[in-house]
Amino acid sequence: MSGFVNITIGDLVRQTAEKHPDTTALVFPESGVKATYAQFLDTVEATAKGLMALGVKRGDNVSVWTANLPEWLYLQFGLSMIGAVLVTVNTNYKSHELEYILGHSDSTTLVLMEGYRDTNYYDTARSVIKGLDASRPGETNSKNLPMLKNIVYIGTRDRTPGMFSFDEVIQLGQKIPDEALRERERSLDVHDTVNMQYTSGTTGFPKGVMLTHYNIVNNARMVGDVMGLGNDDRLLIHVPFFHCFGCVMSSLNSVYHGSTMVVLESFDPLKALAAVHEERCTAINGVPTMFIAMLAHPDFDRYDMSSLRTGIMAGAPCPVDTMNHVRERMHCSEIVIAFGQTESAPVMTMTRRDDPVELRVSTVGRLLPDIEGKIVDPDTGEDLPAHTQGEIVTRSDCVMKGYYKMEEATRSAIDAAGWLHTGDLGEVDENGYFRVTGRMKDMIIRGGENIYPREIEEFLLTNAKVLDVQVVGVPDNKYGEQVLAALQLREGATATVDEFIAFCTGKIARHKVPRYWEFVKEFPMTASGKIQKYKLREMFTQKIGA
């Protein structure tokens, strides 16, 4: 396709640093880190050489489990320089999920921070990686995770048995010659996998979406072009880097367009308002709940938002009032809506900056310039006319390489003609504006986080008291949807809600722990014996008054 650019992420950083050496690349208000593009490139190269010194090879998978730290960005661009694959680990994950991802991804290296919110990552890793404390750094030999060799710790502990500190990795890299790094870079191909994101699976465990340099550089290019992002822009990034929203639509987008990344470790409405005010941000990305929290903050009027111009709202439908407040009170007149999924790297459609408000709240916009999309009949695969509901499908050079080690799942997602089947129901009007009307899958979207009931169901079925379980989403004013679990207990078993909450705590991410629990004797069934989830949803929505 004519608009696509052929460049690896490593070469992209070099290109931007050459064009804009003195532009501020990075600002972390919470830690005082500030770097120009020339300085940012130096740190990225130092990180790349450190990883080479650890023995990380082209094609190796490296899991990163931290919040939005400066090191996350050094790793994102440093790993891409040496041809390794960044495996993003959700900051909400617990031991059960961490072990699965490290094992399934064949990660040779894990980089982690001390902890985040209610989870101590350091202790969790030591519980999951057997024998870690007794091993030497670089010689991890865990029976349950045989591929894992290196653990790298970011934090302030004096002693971390079995782990390198991030600073040690940088020091080790000093012995790697510049030419060795350049030689590695010359061996890379734009169609190499560079980023692997685990999306919760509709059929149980998460699937690793393999994204290439070509996929995500070009998606970031198109997204920033629609936003009108340029060298003078300063983008506030408080969406998590482990999502495409953070590492493609935000960080990679900024580097492609030579913009400044103003990064918060995690979302906090007051810190976000202060960052916009103090750093004179011109752009802001977030899910609707983030904008709602900022607008509702009692100190909102103390901060000057007049520097804002553009940004992206994605992850959930945007209420009309919120869109109007973001445009008027936050001065974000050019805010746009984006839609897509990780498998399409991720954006497929966006509204445009000059679209009227009604289109920005009732649709998810038009296709990006180099992306194809249409509505098909889910049963026959035939193309459907305008204003007819069907499945949204997309085809482009942004579509993933496939799911890691899951050929069958890849074939069922991408058909023989190259169309990615999104599983989302929607329609398109005569002007090419798409509207999402529902989901073929039973995915729950809670505050912008995709939650797949099957994954929670399989986990709850490991409880000896559970005979069967069905998980559904019920409407919620604050988060859009909440998780409800309907449990059928084994004959003679008794249990309490608190008991099940305790069973989940520390094992599955907090946002996946059901908000509502119901104990049932039976489930509504079809004549052929299939459970009718929509009836469960209706029944319990009525019961809890959602």
Hey, what are 336's tokens? Answer: 């746009």
Say which CATH superfamily domain 9-266 falls into: ANL, N-terminal domain (3.40.50.12780)
**Domain layout of the chain by residue ranges:** 9-266, 335-439, 452-544
Check if the beta carbon of residue 336 is closer than 8 Å to that of residue 363: no
Sign of CA dihedral 159, 164, 169, 172: positive
Backbone angles phi, psi at 215, to 5 degrees: -55, -55
Backbone angles phi, psi at 512, to 5 degrees: -90, -15
Distance CA 320, CA 358 (A): 8
Check if the beta carbon of residue 427 is closer than 8 Å to that of residue 386: yes
Distance CA 546, CA 444 (A): 15
Distance CA 219, CA 217 (A): 6
Which residue matches tokens 């899991």?
63
The third-level CATH classification (topology) of the domain covering 452-544 is GMP Synthetase; Chain A, domain 3 (3.30.300)
Q: Is 58 exposed, middle or buried (0-12, 13-18, 19+ CB in 10 A)?
A: middle
Start-to-end C-alpha separation, the chain: 47
How far is the CA of 270 from the CAs of 84, 267, 277, 299, 403, in angstroms?
37, 9, 11, 8, 38
The third-level CATH classification (topology) of the domain covering 335-439 is Luciferase; domain 3 (2.30.38)
Region class of 284: left (phi > 0), else alpha (psi between -120 and 50), else beta: beta
Q: What share of the chain is helix, strand, coil (3-state, %, to 5)?
A: 35, 25, 40
> Each residue's pLDDT tens digit in the chain (546 positions)?
458 999 999 999 999 999 999 999 999 999 999 999 999 999 999 999 999 999 999 999 999 999 999 999 999 999 999 999 999 999 989 999 999 999 999 999 999 999 999 999 999 999 999 999 999 999 999 999 999 999 999 999 999 999 999 999 999 999 999 999 999 999 999 999 999 999 865 445 789 999 999 999 999 999 999 999 999 999 999 999 999 999 999 999 999 999 999 999 999 999 999 999 999 999 999 988 899 899 999 999 999 999 999 999 998 778 788 899 999 999 999 999 999 999 999 999 999 999 999 999 889 999 999 999 999 998 899 999 999 989 999 999 999 999 999 999 999 999 999 999 999 889 999 999 999 877 776 778 898 887 878 789 889 989 999 988 999 999 998 899 999 999 999 889 999 999 999 999 999 999 999 999 999 999 887 554 567 888 899 999 999 885
